[in-house]
Amino acid sequence: MRYGVPTGLAALALGLAAALTFTPTAQAGPPRPAPSAAAAPAQFAHPGVLNSRAQLDFVRTKVQAGQQPWKGAFDAMLASAYGSLSRTPKPRAVVECGSYSNPDIGCSDEREDAIAAYSDALAWYITRDAKYAKKSIELMDAWSAKIKDHTNSNAPLQSGWAGSTWPRAAEIIKHTYTGGWPNQGRFATMLRDVYLPEVINGKPNSNGNWELIMMDAAVGISVHLDDRASYDKAMAIYLGRVPAYFYLASDGPQPKYPPRSGIDTRSELIDYWHGQSTFVDGLAQETCRDFGHTGMGIAATMHVAETSRIQGRDLYPEFKDRFRHALGFHAAYELGAPVPSWLCGGSLAKGIGPATEVGYNALHTRLGVAMENTRRLTEGRRPAGTENHFEAWETLTHAENPN
């Protein structure tokens, strides 16, 4: 297997045999401690949340030259509601989000205004047209002037979704736009006081996409605030969660216990993995829940790895096998590979979303890893747009980006 799951019926049969080889035996014990995080850089790089200046320059050059897929991705972004200069922000003092965003009292508005601010920031950088920077600032200012809290059961996740997107926009505007942003300090205070407390401690007992998304937000906010202590804390949680979310056979006969969770027996672990008791390379904790949430987990994982690389620690070589198998495993089934009976009872809820572009670029373009299924899925769905939560325009920003 080169990229996470074999192709063809014969290879699938081999995969089944391999899977059965790793059928776990009883194993109990305390959760394994999270590995310690490397110290934050002595000085953060800016812009440095998901996109570096070199990456943005690469994108700008490609779009200005009319090259594909970047020009098509850029045009799609500008044609969307997120790229509209007539957009009216809809801030609220209190955003209330229940399970699955029900009730949705400001939840969609907040996430989508954050994506719009990021879209406008990208448009500013690529075009150097100040009207986009001013629109991004208008959206960020509207929310920083009003929001005070998130409530109800989805408050941490909602804070993660919006809180991961806001600093991407703010990094570009603060560090590349010279036209002025008088309320930048107020926006930073919003990130520090409203979002960071909701996400920085994680949610160890929730499905893993929660903690990964929350760390996506916490890491990005920490970079924007030049907050080394919060960065270290968020990275420590992330480095413990990633091996507990994506399985490799080298982990042993069963996945790692999620740190800090209290899940410490085999039966609890299988229940946490949505009833899956056979483990193979690339399987994720939420694979048997659905690919939508798994895709969010994948996207958040790659976002943090991308930001970490910009800030001086490249996690891709360290996690290369875990990442490539996770991407390839899910890509194969998303593309239509038959689902064996040992996997999620023979039925998968597909729909991974635009989750593969960042990881595929990091592993294939920069590290030269062969990933045929991931390539087919990623290139076949370009330009990747947004799932309206926190993944946005990643064909534009990361397709074939060597920087």
pLDDT digit string (tens) for 148-169? 999 999 999 999 999 999 999 9
Rounded Cα gap, residues 109 and 119, in angstroms:
15
Rounded Cα gap, residues 152 and 177, in angstroms:
37
| pLDDT (tens digit per residue) in 32-66 | 434 444 569 999 999 999 999 999 999 999 999 99
374 residue type, one letter: T
Per-residue confidence (pLDDT) for residue 6, from 0 to 100: 34
**Alpha helix stretches (DSSP H) within 47-154:** 53-64, 70-79, 107-127, 130-144
Per-residue confidence (pLDDT) for residue 29, from 0 to 100: 39
Q: Could you tell me if 11 and 380 are in contact, meaning their C-beta atoms sit under 8 angstroms apart?
A: no
Question: What percentage of the chain carries pLDDT values higher than 70?
Answer: 90
Dihedral sign for Cα atoms in the order 264, 268, 269, 272? negative
**Alpha helix stretches (DSSP H) within 191-336:** 196-199, 208-225, 228-245, 266-272, 291-310, 316-334
Q: Inform me whether the pLDDT recorded for 20 exceeds 60.
A: no
Q: Inform me whether the pLDDT recorded for 21 exceeds 60.
A: no
| pLDDT (tens digit per residue) in 331-373 | 999 999 999 999 999 999 999 999 999 999 999 999 999 999 9
Per-residue confidence (pLDDT) for residue 261, from 0 to 100: 95
Q: Inform me whether the pLDDT recorded for 30 exceeds 70.
A: no
Q: Is the peptide bond before 47 cis (omega within 30 degrees of 0)?
A: yes
pLDDT band at residue 229 under the 50/70/90 scheme? very high
pLDDT band at residue 287 under the 50/70/90 scheme? very high
Question: What percentage of the chain carries pLDDT values higher than 90?
Answer: 90
* pTM, rounded to two decimals: 0.90
Higher pLDDT, 332 or 23: 332
pLDDT band at residue 14 under the 50/70/90 scheme? very low
Q: Inform me whether the pLDDT recorded for 18 exceeds 70.
A: no
- Quick one: average pLDDT of 217-234? 98
- Quick one: average pLDDT of 8-32? 35
Token pair listed for 370: 């062969």
Per-residue confidence (pLDDT) for residue 121, from 0 to 100: 98
Q: Could you tell me if 311 and 47 are in contact, meaning their C-beta atoms sit under 8 angstroms apart?
A: no
Question: What is the CA angle 191-188-209, rounded to 5?
Answer: 25
- Quick one: average pLDDT of 256-264? 96
Per-residue confidence (pLDDT) for residue 343, from 0 to 100: 98
Higher pLDDT, 123 or 2: 123
Per-residue confidence (pLDDT) for residue 23, from 0 to 100: 33
Mean pLDDT of the chain: 92
| pLDDT (tens digit per residue) in 315-335 | 999 999 999 999 999 999 999
Per-residue confidence (pLDDT) for residue 38, from 0 to 100: 55
Highest mean pLDDT among 3-12, 17-26, 101-110 belongs to: 101-110
pLDDT band at residue 104 under the 50/70/90 scheme? very high
Lowest model confidence (mean pLDDT) among 12-16, 91-95, 307-311: 12-16
Q: Inform me whether the pLDDT recorded for 177 exceeds 60.
A: yes
